[in-house]
Structure 1
Amino acid sequence: MLTDIAVLGAGMHPWGKWGRSFVAYGVAAARAALADAGLDWREVPSVVGADTVRGGYPGYVAGASFARALGWQGARVTSVYAACASGAQAIGTARAQILAGLADVVLVVGADAAPKGFFAPAGGERPDDPDWLRFRVLGATNPAYFGLYARRRMALYGDTPEDFARVKVKNAAAGALNPLARYRKAVSADDVAASPVVADPLRLLDICATSDGGAALVLSSMAFARRHGHPDPVRIRAVSTVTPEYPRTVLDLPDIATDAMVGHGVADRPFRPFRASIARAAYEEAGIGPEDLSLAEVYDLSTALELEWYEDLGLCPAGHGAALVRNGVTALGGRVPVNPSGGLASFGEAVPAQAIAQVCELTWQLRGAAGDRQVPGARAGITANQGLFGHGSAVVAVR
């Protein structure tokens, strides 16, 4: 297809709390991706960096920060920010450059050095931002918000804390097989139940940590890939960065967070939750559906939110996410493994790197190079993520 681009290289710095600069993590990931692609940095005409708000000015110009650390060589540089969707925006920017003929090959890098605890609101007063309103008007920081979502699922669908624990057990088992994960220890449902309550009904092991880490991709045109000895590379076929549909007046907002925004018959479009619209746009662009997926990497900020993603991706109808995890459908060895990397449950959040790391995992899975966590015969995968202020994030990769 004309919209396909090739993934020539994927690389990551292991997640953890290492006490170094985000630039160090990004450079390590970039060098790993370049080595995987068989390219020298001096051969790369463009670099796109995913920004971090925690790195001071260098974090706001991440593309240039990484280029300088790798060694100025004249490459075109771009820096993008979209909160947790920054990595997808960076991938989308690189793809646009490649498809427009501005560059045959582009390096995409994201990295973060995160604080301890949960992320506090940043960016000043934003009374027109529903996520700022969530923080400031409701006092619903992320753990509280995750707890509200979990309670909603329990009330609407009959999900239980045991269902949420199954998600953690599943992802921890996969993460134990991933040498790049921060947490590499299997846990039991009893371990989850014994961990402290953070935001009822969610316990400490239901919620992801914050982490340091980095991820990078080398992307190219299909012609460049063939010329450089990659006749059948993993291909990115779609990048969805859509926004929600909702009334413009703040007082008319149906929910106090952009990830809960829903369609309201705008331009005769059907009712669709925001996360479902992110996935739908990716499927439509890629020309595939959920039935074609071999695996998915989703944004499991909490165990309950992973169950929501099953439904938003179309893996099952609304309210049936818990049944998938109960029946092992989304575990390694199941029909559609979700988060075979171990997910954020095993990695934690390194915000600008997350969406890029998800595509790294798809790349290794579609190559058949994922080791003990390999999904047999993987041919197509999707990532799902999102950022504050209505930033969608989904990538479809195929082989």
Structure 2
Amino acid sequence: MSGPGSSGVVVLGTGMHPWGKQGRPFAEYGLAAARAALADAGVAWTDIQYLVGADTIRNGYPGFVAGATYAQALGWTGARIASCYAACASGAQAVDLARTRILAGLCDLALVVGADSTPKGFFAPVGGDRPDDPDWLRFRLLGATNPAYFGLYARRRMALHGSTPYDFAAVKVKNARAGALNPMARYRKTVTTEEVLASPMVADPLRLMDICATSDGGAAVVLASESYARRHAGARGLVRLAAVSTVTPTFPNTVLELPNFATDSWAAAPPPERPFRAAIAYAAYEEAGLGPEDLSLAEVYDLSTALELDWTEDVGLCPPGEAEKLLRDGATALGGRIPVNPSGGLASFGEAIPAQAVAQLCELTDQLRGRAGPRQVQGARAGLAANQGLFGHGSAMVVTR
């Protein structure tokens, strides 16, 4: 076993279950992804010292104790386990738990699994009436379903930066092109701008094809200490998990951020240097010792087409208001200067909440290992994955070669 701080952390293996609407228990998807990740890493389940399951709260008690659910399904070995829930950042927090244990020298080999089986339509709060829950309140008091606040973000972007529905449609066209090349994606068909603009209006100005679906799916990674990885796989081609950011917002919030619309706090603090989404990414950059100019690609949280444009700016790929120019110039497409969502993004996968950040890490790892097939970003050396969960959960990861 490695000593504390003796090495970094390597993504030794990745695995996924194809995303879609298969209607099977979430643990089946997670188990398939876990076995694929173990095979990719060239290790046995009995070698794993620590397993972290990202929780899915819509799937009963087994979903709340996902770590134990997966450990039991794989076969009890005495491995230590943990389970965690952080909304859409659950996968990143699960990765961070495993990474931290490795960095502390408490284990050399860990497995992280996230999977979900989702209901039809948009996600709604679970657990009955909860008047002290801001998520429940935004539905009940504001009528702000997820697509509704995606639409509010889009309207804000149009007002601030002059974005148009054609710009939003172009994001879907770009991501559908990439998703068509990804065997794990749910939607594997290219679309045209005209098809996007002809799809039904859901939350003005966003149409059906502007908004990601809810999906079933699973993703898993095997993490290892660098010393173990060198002994096991040699020094060549190691993909290092250089940073994980799980930062929270800084009070005062200067912009209304649905769904976190409560802006009160007992902690007085100077105004934040950056808005929350930007702070998530820049905390990861600082830890990794690089900046957005060093990235080869980025996976960002395209809950809607308009939100991808916001995230493109938030993670520092361009100044505010210039994401449309990058898009129009082809810079964020496959083959462009800085591809964004070369996996196809949530536009092609849909949301499977505990699996999302883990799936992003799978894509970054495959790209840096040069095995992304027709989606391959040539010469990829560094990548960022970023998303955001309810209640101030940040999620960003940086991987490097």
Question: Which TM class, normalised by the smaller chain length?
Answer: over 0.9
> Which whole-Å CA distance do the structure 2 matches of 1:287 and 1:42 have between them?
35
Which residue number corresponds to residue 280 of structure 1?
282
Give the drift of 1:256. 4.2
For structure 1, the 5+ residue unaligned runs are none
Quick check: 1:78 aligned with 2:82?
A: yes
Which residue number corresponds to residue 342 of structure 1?
344
Please state whether the residue corresponding to 1:243 is helix, strand or coil. Answer: coil
> Which whole-Å CA distance do the structure 2 matches of 1:259 and 1:285 have between them?
29
Which residue number corresponds to residue 52 of structure 2?
48
**Equivalent in 241, 244, 252 of residue 236 of structure 1:** 241
1:15 to 1:102, Cα distance in 2 relative to 1, 3 A:
same
Which residue number corresponds to residue 166 of structure 1?
170
Quick check: 1:178 aligned with 2:167?
A: no
Please state whether the residue corresponding to 2:233 is helix, strand or coil. Answer: coil
1:109 to 1:152, Cα distance in 2 relative to 1, 3 A:
same
Contact (CA 8 Å) 2:7, 2:225: kept in 1 or not?
no
Aligned counterparts, 1:288-327, within 5 A: 288-327=290-329
**In the comparison of the two structures, how many residue pairs are matched?**
396
Contact (CA 8 Å) 2:11, 2:365: kept in 1 or not?
yes
Q: What is the CA deviation profile of residues 247-278 of structure 1, one whole-angstrom value per residue up to 9, with x for unaligned ones?
A: 49xxx994443399799x96446442110110
Give the drift of 1:135. 2.3
Q: TM-score, normalised by structure 2?
A: 0.94
Which residue number corresponds to residue 108 of structure 1?
112
Please state whether the residue corresponding to 2:89 is helix, strand or coil. Answer: helix
Give the drift of 1:134. 2.5
Which residue number corresponds to residue 398 of structure 1?
400
1:77 to 1:47, Cα distance in 2 relative to 1, 3 A:
same
Give the drift of 1:22. 0.5
Please state whether the residue corresponding to 1:6 is helix, strand or coil. Answer: strand
State percent identity of aligned pairs: 71
Which residue number corresponds to residue 120 of structure 1?
124
Aligned counterparts, 1:52-71, within 5 A: 52-71=56-75
Contact (CA 8 Å) 1:90, 1:108: kept in 2 or not?
yes
Please state whether the residue corresponding to 2:18 is helix, strand or coil. Answer: strand
Q: Which amino acid aligns with 1:391?
A: H
Which residue number corresponds to residue 23 of structure 2?
19
> Which whole-Å CA distance do the structure 1 matches of 2:208 and 2:176 have between them?
14
1:88 to 1:96, Cα distance in 2 relative to 1, 3 A:
same
Which residue number corresponds to residue 28 of structure 1?
32
> Which whole-Å CA distance do the structure 2 matches of 1:60 and 1:274 have between them?
27
> Which whole-Å CA distance do the structure 1 matches of 2:284 and 2:37 have between them?
25
Q: What is the CA deviation profile of residues 254-305 of structure 1, one whole-angstrom value per residue up to 9, with x for unaligned ones?
A: 4443399799x96446442110110110011111100000000011000000
1:40 to 1:162, Cα distance in 2 relative to 1, 3 A:
same
Q: TM-score, normalised by structure 1?
A: 0.95
Give the drift of 1:131. 3.8
Please state whether the residue corresponding to 1:381 is helix, strand or coil. Answer: strand
Please state whether the residue corresponding to 2:93 is helix, strand or coil. Answer: helix
Please state whether the residue corresponding to 2:88 is helix, strand or coil. Answer: helix
Q: What is the CA deviation profile of residues 56-109 of structure 1, one whole-angstrom value per residue up to 9, with x for unaligned ones?
A: 000000000000000111100100000110000000000011011111000000
Q: What is the CA deviation profile of residues 293-346 of structure 1, one whole-angstrom value per residue up to 9, with x for unaligned ones?
A: 000001100000000001100111111111111111100011100000000000
> Which whole-Å CA distance do the structure 1 matches of 2:58 and 2:370 have between them?
35
> Which whole-Å CA distance do the structure 1 matches of 2:162 and 2:119 have between them?
35
Contact (CA 8 Å) 2:251, 2:271: kept in 1 or not?
no
Q: Which amino acid aligns with 2:187?
A: Y
Please state whether the residue corresponding to 2:360 is helix, strand or coil. Answer: helix
Which residue number corresponds to residue 353 of structure 1?
355
For structure 2, the 5+ residue unaligned runs are none
> Which whole-Å CA distance do the structure 2 matches of 1:52 and 1:110 have between them?
8
Quick check: 1:138 aligned with 2:142?
A: yes
Give the drift of 1:371. 0.1
Contact (CA 8 Å) 1:84, 1:388: kept in 2 or not?
yes
> Which whole-Å CA distance do the structure 2 matches of 1:91 and 1:64 have between them?
16
> Which whole-Å CA distance do the structure 1 matches of 2:165 and 2:311 have between them?
17
Q: Which amino acid aligns with 2:334?
A: L
Please state whether the residue corresponding to 1:258 is helix, strand or coil. Answer: coil
> Which whole-Å CA distance do the structure 2 matches of 1:222 and 1:302 have between them?
37
Which residue number corresponds to residue 382 of structure 1?
384
1:253 to 1:161, Cα distance in 2 relative to 1, 3 A:
closer
Q: What is the CA deviation profile of residues 231-256 of structure 1, one whole-angstrom value per residue up to 9, with x for unaligned ones?
A: 231000000000111249xxx99444
Contact (CA 8 Å) 2:111, 2:223: kept in 1 or not?
yes
